[in-house]
Amino acid sequence: MKNQEIEYPLGARPGDGEMLKIRDGLYWVRMPIPIEGLDYINLYLIEDDDGWTIVDSGFKSEKITELWEIIFKKFLKGKPVTRLICTHFHPDHMGLAGWVTNRWNIPLTMTFGEWTFGRMLYLEASEKTPDFVVDFYASIGFSEKMLDKVRARGFNHFERAMTPVPMGFSRIADGDVIRIGKRDWQVIVGTGHAPEHACLYAAEEGIMISGDQVLPRITPHIGVYPAEPLANPLKQFMQSIDKLSKLPRDTLVLPAHNDVFTGLHNQLDYYKSHHTDRLKKLLEACDSPKSAIDLLPVLFDRELTESDVRLAISEGLAHCHYLVEEGDLDRICGEDGVWKFQRHGARHRAVA
């Protein structure tokens, strides 16, 4: 059976401070975010008998706070917000969680891994970049000029981008079912983009709130960072593709960015082919030892801006680590202390 092409059935987007009805009791909100290339995040409201559930809070900003207050006053029919579910810890999703939960005196609902990671990064904020962070970037080949910028940036991005992360939370886990209004929402945990990303799936109507796990037009970011320097997030992401592929082909997907769409399997198949193609290119390029920076032109055929480079390197590392775990690449520490990657067995062939 041929995959359903990507389609955008709503044909409209909500304006700032507005809600767009998707189904009875299910609404779409868009909030502006200061992230280059994304511009907006999609948030969702689900009506319950005695209140409302919000899915994701948005980035910490006065503008978004003002827009929320407009929505609270104009659209909630006099009912309170009774639950906030955050799909994952990234600031555009969790940034206002502290404000929303305090505003309505409600718990924050998340998976354990996402709450833990978000709260940890918030609490560990520092004006000074920790040595282990600098050491990580030095080990993957950053120049002294690049390392100076890492040091100057500090380690307080999450503190600046988030309101205080609540000390306690209400845990959800893969397979849980949350009853909201007339719908049962099953929690489907995806990995790779974040540790325990929660998607919400309403089986009777075939609707999934996908957060960043599935997006139209773009691929979710899969990267390796200092907190887990030997991670293999791409393997986890590929496993999540297999899990989500079991959902019906006509699932209506409510993503965190771009537009509500159908064509879930089309997008999942694209992710697989996209990453498989990148893995093949990397493997072919590693006949001799290459650092993650050396491999940037292999993965990206466009000129990268300064802000793109760190994300691009983290994605390159994710692909290299996948191939290392598969036994296709060796990870070798050079005399300069920089980790490099070489096709498995290439050194033995060179000696022979």
What CATH number is associated with residue 296? 1.10.10.10
The overall average pLDDT reported for the chain is: 94
Number of domains the chain contains: 2
Same domain, 194 and 339: no
As a whole number, mean pLDDT of residues 159-176 equals 96
Dump pLDDT digits (tens) for 58-109.
999 999 999 999 999 999 999 999 999 999 999 999 999 999 999 999 999 9
Residue 350 pLDDT > 50: no
pLDDT score of 348: 45
| Residue 15 maps to a domain | no
pTM for the full model?
A: 0.94
pLDDT score of 172: 98
Same domain, 315 and 170: no
CA–CA distance, 139 with 142 (Å, rounded to integer):
7
Question: What count of other Cβ atoms lies within 10 Å of the Cβ of residue 217?
Answer: 11
Dihedral (C-alpha) 207, 2, 240, 168: value to the nearest 10 degrees?
-10
Q: Which domain holds residue 343?
A: 278-351
| Residue 92 maps to a domain | yes
pLDDT score of 2: 47
Same domain, 251 and 293: no
Same domain, 121 and 159: yes
Same domain, 240 and 333: no
* Residues 26 and 160: beta-carbon distance below 8 Å: no
Same domain, 187 and 325: no
Which CATH number does the domain housing residue 175 bear?
Answer: 3.60.15.10
| Residue 3 maps to a domain | no
Same domain, 94 and 169: yes
pLDDT score of 148: 94
Same domain, 231 and 296: no
Same domain, 283 and 174: no
Higher pLDDT, 303 or 273: 273
* Residues 3 and 269: beta-carbon distance below 8 Å: yes
Same domain, 217 and 114: yes
Indicate the residue among 273, 302, 325 that finishes a domain.
273
pLDDT score of 347: 58
| Residue 13 maps to a domain | no
Same domain, 235 and 335: no
Same domain, 40 and 150: yes
| Residue 216 maps to a domain | yes
Indicate the residue among 227, 250, 273 that finishes a domain.
273
Strand pairing category for 52-55 and 40-47: antiparallel
Indicate the residue among 273, 298, 331 that finishes a domain.
273
| Residue 8 maps to a domain | no
Which of 73-82, 308-317, 341-350: highest mean pLDDT? 73-82
pLDDT score of 169: 97
| Residue 238 maps to a domain | yes
